[in-house]
Amino acid sequence: MRHTEFWARMEAVLGPAYARSWAEQQVLADLESRTVVEALAAGEHPKAVWAAVWRRLELPESER
């Protein structure tokens, strides 16, 4: 998964206005207590970050 696909999924789930804000503010234990933005900046693969977001938001299997 590329960063562009990751952000497209975030926007599809949370909306374009809220996705970036959520990614900057929500600290996820699955990302070693970092935000989405921090994890991506640290080099975490977008697919792994998406998996953490998917679990946190309790999204349906179809969004996996």
Given this model, what pLDDT does residue 55 score? 96
Give pLDDT, residue 7. 98
What's the CA gap between 60 and 44, in Å, rounded?
23
58/34 Cα distance (integer angstroms): 18
pTM of this structure: 0.93
What pLDDT is stored for residue 41 in this prediction? Answer: 98
CA distance 43 to 61: 26
Specify the DSSP element, H or E, that contains 39.
Answer: helix 36-41
CA 32, 35, 38, 39 dihedral sign is positive
Model confidence over 7-63: pLDDT tens digits?
Answer: 999 999 999 999 999 999 999 999 999 999 999 999 999 999 999 999 999 999 988
